[in-house]
Amino acid sequence: MGNIASINFKPVKANSTRHNERIGELDYVYSDLSQDNESWKVDEIQNRYKSIAELTKEKTGRKIQAKATPIREAVVNLSAHHTMQDVKDLAEMLEESYGIKAFQIHIHRDEGKSRDDLNYHAHILWDWQDKETGKSFKLNRKDVSLIQDLTATSLGMQRGDLKENSNRERLEAVEYKRQQEQLKLSALQEEVQVLEQKKNEAERSYYVLSRQDPRAEGFLKELAKDRAEENAGFQKISMEQLEEAVRLQRGHIEREDEEQQHFAKELDEADRGAELIATLKSRIREAKLQLEEAPNEIKEQDRLLEEAEREYNDLKERIKGFKDV
């Protein structure tokens, strides 16, 4: 799968860290091959989001929008020979060309249709914020197409078809497995239809032969019964497999929803924390200004005190003069 160049960007998901760093048991990977994976990172997602939110407020005066996607994830096709340095070189090339900056890279060598047909690929997490303006970078269709060209050139791979000329879409791990289960189910359903057809043919044969020779009636009844039981058993197996596939898919969706809610909660808390920090910074600045102005206020108070002492001494001299008179 890695001989065609492909890079696909999307907003980072709540379960990204769990998938990329192989946290917990994942039923769509060959766990004994996970030791061949590689990871590089200079920051965590939460930390990077906080710094992006703070810079957004500083540069624009507004909080980061809830629908903003300042952190994005790219999935890059690789071949077996590609290294972490190859992917870093690609990330640096895209940073020089478009300003987006990678802060995590994860290479996976433990996924695929089989051990003999592994899907070598990398996940790159990007800081998508323009540090000069505090806003997200904007890429048009031409930029996206050129990025595909740069990816193919950097990795020494064949350029994939343009999206408008191809119906091929990259499948994520869970979606890929779900579709494989659906294909198996379709095959089972086709076999059920074949058995159903055989059963109908047997019934027709039974009807014809029973009219020709009454002695064949018992044998044909048993044959029809066996066919019916076989068909019912097969249908039961296929339904059980369908229910299992649905159960697995529902479980994946529920876990992803829980992780998404948890991630949203953490981001909300981070946002409130950023507001609190901004408020404290403002109060500190005000306190510093007051401290800077304090020496001038003290000098003014000293001047007023000296002036009051002079007036007091003048008054004493005047009173003394009255007494002498």
Q: Where are the domains of the chain?
A: 4-168, 176-269
Tens digits of per-residue pLDDT, 144-162?
889 999 999 999 998 865 5
Cα 151 from Cα 148, distance rounded (Å): 5
Question: What is the DSSP-derived secondary structure letter of residue 161?
Answer: P
Work out the burial of residue 289: count CB atoms within 10 Å of its CB; fewer than 13 is exposed, 13-18 middle, 19 or more buried.
Answer: exposed
- Taking CB atoms within 8 Å and a gap of at least 24, the contacts of 172-176 are 173/19, 173/26, 173/28, 173/29, 173/111, 174/28, 174/249, 174/252, 176/28
Please say if the pLDDT value at position 6 is more than 80: yes
Q: What is the pLDDT of residue 2?
A: 46
- Nearest CA to 45 out of 86, 97, 106 is that of 106
Please say if the pLDDT value at position 14 is more than 60: yes
Q: What is the pLDDT of residue 135?
A: 92
Q: What is the pLDDT of residue 154?
A: 94
Q: How far is CA 52 from CA 56, 70, 270, 272, 279, in A?
A: 6, 7, 11, 14, 17
Please say if the pLDDT value at position 74 is more than 90: yes
Q: Any idea which fold 4-168 has?
A: BirA Bifunctional Protein; domain 2 (3.30.930)
Please say if the pLDDT value at position 94 is more than 50: yes
Q: Which residues of 65-74 are buried (b: 16+ CB within 10 A; e: fewer)?
A: eeebebbbbb
Q: What is the pLDDT of residue 165?
A: 41
Task: Give residue for tokens 């060598």.
Answer: 109
Expressed in angstroms, the distance from the first to the final Cα of the chain is: 118
Q: What is the pLDDT of residue 127?
A: 97
Please say if the pLDDT value at position 119 is more than 70: yes
Cα 238 from Cα 102, distance rounded (Å): 46
Q: If you average pLDDT over residues 303-321, what whole number do you get?
A: 74
Dihedral class, residue 256 (left if φ above 0, else alpha if ψ from -120 to 50, else beta): alpha
Q: If you average pLDDT over residues 112-134, what whole number do you get?
A: 94
* Residue 211 pLDDT grade (very low, low, confident, very high; cuts 50, 70, 90): low
Higher pLDDT, 108 or 280: 108
Q: Which of 148-157, 197-206, 304-313 has the highest mean pLDDT?
A: 148-157
Task: Calculate the average pLDDT of the chain.
Answer: 78
Tens digits of per-residue pLDDT, 103-118?
999 999 999 988 989 9
Please say if the pLDDT value at position 222 is more than 50: yes
Q: Which of 87-96, 187-196, 230-239, 279-288 has the highest mean pLDDT?
A: 87-96
228, two tokens: 């019916």
Sign of CA dihedral 111, 112, 113, 116: negative
Q: What is the pLDDT of residue 307?
A: 77
Please say if the pLDDT value at position 269 is more than 80: no
Least confident range from 26-40, 123-137, 198-212, 295-309: namely 198-212
Higher pLDDT, 89 or 230: 89
Q: What is the pLDDT of residue 251?
A: 64
